[in-house]
Amino acid sequence: MNDIVPVLRISPLRQRLIDDMTMRRFSRETQRNYLRDIERFATWLERSPHTATAEEVRRFQIEQQEAGVPTPTMNMIVSALRFLFTQTLDRPDLARKLVRTRHERKIPAVLSMEEVKRLLSATTCLKHQAALSVAYGAGLRVSEVSTLKVSDIDSKRMLLRVERGKGGRYRNAMLPEGLLILLREWWRAGCKLGVMHVDGWLFPGMNSRVPLSTRQLHRIVVEAAMAADITKRVGMHTLRHSFATHLLEDGVDIRVIQALLGHAKLNTTAFYTQVATRTVRAVTSPLDKLALFSADGGSPDG
């Protein structure tokens, strides 16, 4: 009996797709999502996607919509299939049949500065507090927090190097002085525990050779929010939303915030003007300048 475990073979199409994504510096998470979504289409098709027809692509979208697939999910599937058809298969005729659905973006939950302080104080250990502080203090995405390395800290220029941001883009994020103090404290504690290495992950997981996963980070922030008695729905991205909103309310130029967040388009950053309530309150209405009404008549809310 042969006791050698056979190596699972990857189909030529799947390997070519992986190569195309790697060549374009797609993050591991994006590659995983694209493979999952394309496999979903292949399962529906019951054969290799390279044999699909334009009518089948159209029918797939209709049936997914009828099955109640959420708009954001469907748009991600469309992005994955569009990449497959245009870049890997060179089938632009199929890509033209893919339709992105307009999705009204909901106003995100944003924490007040007092709530952020309570949340960070409610973490159960120094590593968790440092990880959540990076998300809020530098405005990083959860995947960016997860993949930070010790060598990404540039204390001389007070920057965090984000090597593989969204879309594989590189950028520099801010490194506040208070965050640097906290990270140095975590470094000393981590070294004593034997989990920190100069060339290792900034936030190692249970196995120091791999980083804390995005799922673990999400669980950490949810548990901290519960411990801090915060009733809003909180996730790791809430800290990024709060970072951008608080900067906007403090008068930081929106283009600077765009660069700090790593947004490719300004209109993505401009969305935060809808949640920056302090900015709205700071604006004087032209009606008030007319001075027609006095404040001694009581208020509508009490």
Give the catalytic positions in this structure: 141, 166, 237, 240, 263, 272
Please list, in sequence order, all residues whose beta carbon lies within 8 angstroms of the beta carbon of residue 40, skipping any fewer than 6 positions away: 77
Query: Are 84 and 17 a contacting pair, CB within 8 Å?
Result: yes
Dihedral (CA of 290, 279, 107, 222) sign = negative
What are residue 3's phi and psi, to 5 degrees?
-95, 10
Phi-psi region of 46 (alpha: psi -120 to 50; beta: other; left: phi over 0): left
CA triple 117-121-126, angle to 5 deg: 130
Find out whether 168 and 175 touch, Cβ atoms under 8 Å: no
